[in-house]
Amino acid sequence: MGFQITPKEYVDYIILAGEEIEKNGEYVTALDAKTGDGDHWVNLNSGFQKLISMQEELKIMELAPMLKKIGMTLMSAIGGSSGVLYGSGYLAASKALKDAGALDIDTLYIFLQTELNAIMERGKAKPGWKTMIDSLYEGVEAYGAAKEAGQDERQVMEALKRGAQEGRDRTREMEAVKGRASYQTNKGVGELDPGAVTMCIQLECLSDYILNHKL
Q: Closest Cα partner for 179 from 201, 141, 171, 155?
A: 171
Q: Which is nearer to ligand ADP, 80 or 128 (CB)?
A: 80
Q: Which is nearer to ligand ADP, 147 or 172 (CB)?
A: 172
Rounded to the nearest angstrom, the gap between the alpha carbon of residue 170 and the centroid of all alpha carbons in its chain is: 17
Distance CA 158, CA 23 (A): 23
Q: How many residues bind ligand ADP (CB under 6 A)?
A: 22
Q: Smallest distance, Å, CB 193 to Mg ion?
A: 11
Write down how long the chain is: 215
Query: Which of residues 7, 18, 36, 195 is near Mg ion by CB under 5 A?
Result: 36
Q: Smallest distance, Å, CB 134 to ligand ADP?
A: 8
The DSSP annotation for 45-113 comes to: HHHHHHHHHTHHHHHTS-HHHHHHHHHHHHHHHH-HHHHHHHHHHHHHHHHHTTT-SSB-HHHHHHHHH
Partner from Mg ion, ligand ADP, none binding residue 139, C-beta < 5-8 Å depending on class:
none
Task: Choose the binding region for ligand ADP from 50-58, 136-144, 147-155, 189-197 (rule: CB under 6 A).
Answer: 189-197
Residue 128 near ligand ADP by CB under 6 A: no
Q: Smallest distance, Å, CB 40 to Mg ion?
A: 5
User: What is the 8-class DSSP label of residue 176?
Assistant: P
Cβ atoms < 10 Å from Cβ of 183: 11
Query: Which of residues 29, 54, 80, 109 is near ligand ADP by CB under 6 A?
Result: 80
Residue 37 near ligand ADP by CB under 6 A: yes
* Residues 105 and 153 sit within 8 Å (Cβ to Cβ): yes
Distance CA 15, CA 21 (A): 10
Query: Which of residues 92, 125, 140, 164 is near ligand ADP by CB under 6 A?
Result: 125
Residue 139 near ligand ADP by CB under 6 A: no
Distance CA 166, CA 155 (A): 16
Residue 123 near ligand ADP by CB under 6 A: yes
Binding site for ligand ADP (CB under 6 A): 36-37, 39-40, 43, 80-82, 85, 119, 123, 125, 131-133, 178-180, 193-196
Binding residues for Mg ion, rule: CB under 5 A, are 36-37, 39-40, 80
